[in-house]
Structure 1
Amino acid sequence: MVAVIHTSNRLRAVLQYNENKLEQGHAECISAINYPKDADALSFDQKLNRIQRQLALNKRTKVNTVHVSLNFDPSEKLSKEQLAEISKSYLKGIGFEKQPALVYEHRDAGHPHVHIVTTNIKADGSRISLHNLGKNQSEKTRKEIEVDFGLVKAQDRKAQEFTLKPVSIKAEYGRSETKKAIANVLEKVLNDYKFTTMGELNAVLNHYNVAADIGSEDSRIRKNNGILYRVLDKDGNRVGVPIKASDFHFKPTHRNLKVRFLFNEMNPNRTKDSLRIRNSIDFTLYGKQNVSLPRLIDILQKDGIDTVIRKNEEGLLYGITYCDHRTRSVFNGSALGKQYSAKGIAERCIEDPFSLHQQKSQRIGLDVGQSAGAGNVYHAGNGSSLENDKSLDSLLSPVKDGEYTPHQLKKPKRKKQKGFSMGF
C-alpha cells in the first residue's frame, strides 16, 4: 500500500473533486466516518457542512483540509467493506480516528485506490499538527495495515509499482559499444511502451540517453523518411556516431514505427491509461493555487510519471509530454485535453516556485501517531449518540456567522486605559 497526503485550505474544491468523479460514475462514496448518517444518505451539502462546522471552530488555522489517497497493488481485489475498514484503520493510525471523514473508492485507474477527505481541526477547536505527518505517522501505520490485512507490501514491490523508477538501462557513450547499447534501449522501449508519435517515442528514449533523429526540415534524412539513432550525454547533447535504423536487425525504421504508432493508438487500454495521468495531475492541482511547474513535475515523478517539457529561446513553455512508467504509456499533453497541454498547465501552475517548506503537499507512507484529541461530538462505531435528532441534524446544517468559538481560541480583548489625554 502507498499513501499520498495533500493538505490545503480549500475543503469545497477537494470535496467537489471527489463528487465530480462520483457523478461521472468513476467513484463511489463508501463510508462517512463520524457522520450521523450513512454515506449513501448524505447530500453534497450535508457532506460539506459536517466538516465545515468543525473548521469554523478554529479560524486561525489556514491549512485545515486533509486529502489522502491510499493506493493498492493491481493484483489485490478488495471489497468496499475492506477498503472502508482499511481507511478507518489508517485514520486511527495517524491520529485522525475522531475526525469526520469521507471515503471515496475511485475506479478510474489500473489499481484499487481510495480517497479520504477530512480535517485536522478537532471538536474542541484545537488542531492536529500536520508537520511531518507522513514521516512520523503514516509509514508505520502503512506497514501495520499491510500485515493486518494481508496486503502486498510496498517494499516488496519497490522496483516495480511503488518506487516507480524506470528500468535501469542507459546507453552511455564510451562505456559500451554504441550500437549494442542503443539496441538494448530500443528493444526494451519499443516492446514495453505505448506511444503514438515520434515526439512521444523520443520522450521515453531520451530518458535512457537515446534519441531518434528524423533530421531537419530540408535534410536528406527527412526527405528519405530515414531515422538515425544517437546516444545523448547527461546534458542531452548528441555524442558519438549515429546508427541508421536499417542497421538494427529488428528494423526500427520510420515505416515500421508508423505501423506501431497506429497499433498503439488503437490499444483498448489507452483511454484508461490516460485517465491515470489526468487524475494524478488533477489530484495535485485541484483547488490549489500554490503549485509551481517544478513542484508538479516532482510530485508526478514520485507517482511514476516523467514530464518532458519544451521551451523556446525566451523560456516560454510550448510543449509537454507525459511518460507513465507504471502503465508504460506516453501522451502528449494536448492529447489528454486542453487543461493538460503546455498552455493549460502553465495557466494552472504558479510562475515562481515556492520553497519546499512552503509546499502543502506531501508524499507519504510512515509511524503510528498519538491519538488525535478527545471530546468529539460524534464517533461512529463506539456506541456514542447525540442527545436528539435535532442535534444530529445540526451537524449537517450550514455554518452561520457568529457561531460558537472555543474560549481558548478567542483573542483577548484589549483593556482601555483609564486617565486623561491632553492635546495641544
Structure 2
Amino acid sequence: MIAKISKGSDVYGVFAYNQNKVDNGEATVLSSWRFIHDNDCYNVEDCVRSIDHWLIVNRRTEKPMVHISLNPDPRDMVSDEDAIDLAEDYLKKMGYEDQPYILYKHQDIARTHYHIVTICVGWDGKKINSDYEKRRSMKACREIELAYDLHIPTQKELKHMEKPQAIIYKNGDIKNQITRTVNSIVLGYNIRTLAEFKTVLELYNTTVTEVNGRVEEKLIEGLFYSATDENGKKVGRQLKSSLFGKSFGRKSLEEKFSKDQKKKLSERDKTFVRRILIQCMYQCQYRTREELVALLKKRGIDLVLRDTKDGGRLFGVTIVDHNTKQVLKGSEVNPAFSANMLAQFFDNPNYVIPFPLENKGLSPEEPTKKEEDAFKKLEESVGAGWFIGGGDVDPDEEAYKRMQKKRKFLKRGRKI
C-alpha cells in the first residue's frame, strides 16, 4: 500500500474536488467522524462548517488541511468495511485518531484507492506533530499490510507506482490514463510555466494545448489535453480540462506555477544534477545527442533539446530531473550547459569537458566561503572552470588536495 500525504490552505477546494468525484459517480463516501451530514448525503458547505471551529483556535498554521491518498495494490481485494478499519488504523498510527475526517472511495481510475480529508489542528489548537512524517507513514503502511494480509510491494514496485506512467493510446480509456498521469505530475513536480508543464507531459505521451478566443465578446481561455504517439503527434480527440476537474484547469495550474516559482533549487540539488551531467558527458564515446540522452535517462534525468525550425541550431536545453522532481533550464544548472555551450560538445572530439573533479566525485557538495573563493581564483587562472589537458598534473585536483590538507590543519587548531 502506498500512502501520499499532501497539505494545503484551501479548505473549500479539497472538499470540492472530492465532492465533484462523488457527483460524477466516480467516488463514494464510506465513513466520516465529526462531520455534519444529512442521511449519508454530504455537501461542500457542511463539510467546511464542520471544521471551522477547529481552525478558529489556530490561525498560525498556514496549511491546516491534510489530504491523504491510500493506494492498496490492485491485487488486493479490500471490502468497504476493511477500508474503513484500515483508514482508522492509519490515522491512529499517524496521530490523527481524534481528528475529524471523511473517507472517500475513488474509482475514477482502474485502481480503486481511498482519500482521507482531515486537519492537522487539534481540538486544543495545537498543530499535530509532523516530524519524520514520511518515515512514520511508510512504517504504518507496512504494519497495516501485515495486519490485513495485503500485498507488500518490493522496492521496484514502489518506484514504479510513484512515477507517472506513459499513455498508451491503443489500450483505450484515454481519459483515465491522462487523469492518472497529469495528476502524478501536478502533485509531484515543481513546474513554473505552462511550457515546462508541456515538456514534462510530452515525456509521457501526452500534451496540453492552450486555447484563447472570444465568443460574442466573451473571453474564452482554456486547456485541451491530448494523447500523442511515439513521434509526438496528437492521436484521438482533444479533451477539455473541465472533464478532469478544476485542478487540471488553467486557473489552478497558474496558481501552482506561481507557488513553484518561489521555490529555490538548493545548491545541493544543483550539485547533484551537475555531477550527473558531467559524468555522463565523460562516458560518451561518440558525443552524439542520442548517446548523452540515453545515458542521462538511465540516471533518472531526461534531457530535452530543441532546435530552430530549420534544424540548423540548438536553441533550448531543458533538464527534467525525476530524482528531485525539478524542471530546469540548462543554464540554471551552470552556464556550461546552456544551448550554445552544449552544442559545442556534440560531435566534437576536441571539446574539453568542464569540471573534471565532478567526474571523479571529489568536488565538495557544500564548500565553505574560503573554499568558494579558492575555486573562483582557480577558475580565473584556468579559464572559467575549464580543464587544461596535456600535462601530468591536474590543477583542479592539486588545488583540492591542498584545500583538504588545510582543513586538517584547521581542525587541529594550527595555522598554515
Name the TM-score, length of structure 1 as normaliser: 0.47
Higher relative contact order (CA 8 A, sep 6+): 1
Structure with greater helix share of residues: 2
